[in-house]
Chains A and B, each alone.
Chain A
């Protein structure tokens, strides 16, 4: 089955700097890669996603890149702000018997230092 590895497990950056979180996946059939943000005590919420036919996607300060050949994808946050502090999860998904099986990475705790 699919396996998703996420690094680093913790990341601390100064406010205004950039943060990068990386994920690798094992199943070349995976074709959908969402990123979820989970604030302390809250539920995960989708922040950005990318499909396998796209190499990069950007939404304001957040961007995701995908390298299908290397089977890795990354989340980039620029001009970080205190409200970016949270746990971030990457995930990989593919159609399995018509169903949506989402496999998550282990999570990255991002701390933005003022």
Chain B
């Protein structure tokens, strides 16, 4: 089944404790992206990647890191989480990013709480 998976689905942590949220897709998509969803603010892009070893900042990259060592995986890293990073996080992927503007497929979401 073609899908985007994220782990963990739920996470409660404390300020300053490094964490990684994994994202994996099995559709051979070049483009992957991370969003955070907050009430009243919609979905905001954190980072995106056009292909392996190619990443770039979205609109709200502060406090986050990403890597794209393999085409199927795009982990989101919070080196020192803070309470303002409490949010619902979505990973998404699409085929042929750029001018093709293909549909983005979203993962199931990760609800993160930072105490």
Contact = CB atoms under 8 A, between A and B. Distances in A.
A100 B101 contact: yes
Interface of A: 1, 4, 6, 9, 31-32, 34, 42-46, 49, 51, 89, 91, 93, 95, 97-107
Contacts of B43: 44, 89, 91, 104
Interface of B: 31, 33, 35, 40-45, 48, 50, 56, 58-59, 90, 94, 97-99, 101, 103-104, 106-109
A99 B40 contact: no
A1 B59 contact: yes
8 contacts: A34-B103, A43-B90, A49-B103, A89-B43, A98-B50, A100-B104, A101-B45, A104-B44
Given A98-B99, A100-B31, A105-B42, A46 B104 contact: yes
Given A43-B107, A93-B101, A95-B99, A100 B94 contact: yes
